[in-house]
Amino acid sequence: MPRRRTTYAAAVLATLVPLVSGLLVEPPRAAVAAVGATQHRVAVSLTAVSGRVRLNRHAGISGTVTDVGTGQPLPRVRVTLQLRSRHGWATPPGATGLTGPGGRFAMSAPTYFYGRHSFRVLVSAQTNGRDAVVVPAASPVRSVNVPVPYPAAGRAGARRLSGSRFDPCTPIPYRINYAGAPRNARHLVTVALAKARAASGLTFVYAGSYSGVPFSGRHNNGLPARGIGFAWATSRQVSGLASGAVGFGGGGWAVNDQQITSGVVIDRTYHFHKGWTGPNSIGGLLLHELGHALGLEHVKDRHQVMYPLDVGAPSGNYNRGDISALQRIGLDAGCL
């Protein structure tokens, strides 16, 4: 069965810009420095990790922040894990901590997505106590290699991108409309997003249920105000499901190529095969439509999830071209 993609045009862009940019403003970073404050120049040490680590396996890294002038460890200093991307250093969500009593910190290396990742721990400019200032410093760069744990098929070059992507340095909320959804809808969506995260490094957070139906033409075109909406619906609700398509996924609003909303809708009347492999499986369809929602387009390589006909992805997962595309819209591409 065909799987379609819709491109929902940016007709409302002009009115949306001021509204959305307000939402995206980040609070100012730690203020720097009263005049005359003590300046702590610091050194940041960092242990190494063994080269290859399995996906999502904890790989402990630790280090110490010390004052270069006095040689003393500095407690209560904010440290941030950063990944090297194609556009400079990227700070993924949730990668911050504080040094403890001995100036020590402990974290995990970034093992939650595939690829060879170079990373460091950054001490950004911050006040430490009433009148002392910590001067920014970075640890040595370390690296970890997280291999794809299944035989991904096809060619890495079999990828096409829409040009819009979510900010990989901000958690992407997602909502599910449970009306008409199968009982295991939450589980299916969670597993699909875990597979997308493993390939891209994107972070997804469940934001609850909602009543929208993506691409239904209703309020907000059935998309949540931010992030990705998932729903099961009929062709009466979504006309795009009428012409033999069993699923529909794509972007909603984007601002300057930054995806703000997108959606996935599944034909609730179609009897999908269970699981993730073989033609017309519900898992395979979810991966495909989620790919569209994240900015992937159709390819001609039938081994890829993004092949337009559902012939069944060989691995029940994203394959080489899909992964290569997801790496280009994920953390490796840097923050927006």
Q: Which stretch binds Zn ion (CB under 5 A): 3-11, 71-79, 166-174, 224-232?
A: 3-11
5 vs 226 by CB, closer to Zn ion: 5
Q: Please report, as residue ranges, which positions from 226 to 285 form the binding site for Zn ion (by CB under 5 A).
A: none
**DSSP secondary structure, 148-204, as one string:** -SS---S-TT---B-S-B--TTS-EEEEEE-TT--TTHHHHHHHHHHHHHHHH---E
Coil, helix or strand for 22?
helix
Instruction: Look at the block and give the residue holding tokens 């403890």.
Output: 100
Identify which of residues 119 and 232 has a Cβ nearer to Zn ion in the complex: 232
Q: How far is the CB of 209 from Zn ion (least distance, A)?
A: 25
CB closer to Zn ion out of 212 and 247: 247
CB of 150 to Zn ion, least distance (A): 22
Cβ atoms of residues 22 and 44 within 8 Å = no
Of 2-10, 23-31, 266-274, 311-319, the segment contacting Zn ion by CB under 5 A is 2-10
Q: Shortest gap between Cβ of 307 and Zn ion (angstroms)?
A: 9
Phi, psi (degrees; rounded to nearest 5) at 22: -65, -35
C-beta pairs of 75-79 under 8 Å, 24+ apart in sequence: 75/99, 75/100, 75/101, 75/102, 75/103, 76/128, 77/42, 77/103, 77/123, 77/126, 77/128, 77/134, 78/30, 78/123, 78/124, 78/126, 79/44, 79/105, 79/107, 79/121, 79/122, 79/123
Nearest approach, Cβ of residue 6 and Zn ion (Å): 9
Taking the least distance from each CB to Zn ion, the nearer of 7 and 62 is 7
Tokens encoding 121? 């721990």
283, exposed or middle or buried, with CB in 10 Å at 0-12, 13-18, 19+? buried
Q: Is 159 in the site for Zn ion (CB under 5 A)?
A: no
Residue among 3 and 197 whose Cβ is closer to Zn ion: 3
Minimum distance from CB of 260 to Zn ion (Å)? 21
Residue 3 binding Zn ion, by CB under 5 A = yes
Q: For Zn ion, give the closer residue by CB, 288 or 320.
A: 288
Per CB under 5 A, does 165 bind Zn ion?
Answer: no
Q: Which is nearer to Zn ion, 201 or 240 (CB)?
A: 240
CB of 289 to Zn ion, least distance (A): 7
Q: How far is the CB of 311 from Zn ion (least distance, A)?
A: 13
CA 300 – CA 316 distance, rounded (Å): 18
Stretch that binds Zn ion, among 5-13, 124-132, 160-168, 174-182 (CB under 5 A): 5-13
Size of the site for Zn ion (CB under 5 A): 2
End-to-end CA distance of the chain: 36
- Cα 136 from Cα 121, distance rounded (Å): 11
User: Which stretch, 4-12, 14-22, 151-159, 204-212, contacts Zn ion (CB under 5 A)?
Assistant: 4-12
For residue 5, state whether it binds Zn ion (rule: CB under 5 A): yes
CA–CA separation, 233 vs 218, rounded Å? 13
Q: How far is the CB of 227 from Zn ion (least distance, A)?
A: 20
Q: Rule CB under 5 A: which residues touch Zn ion? A: 3, 5
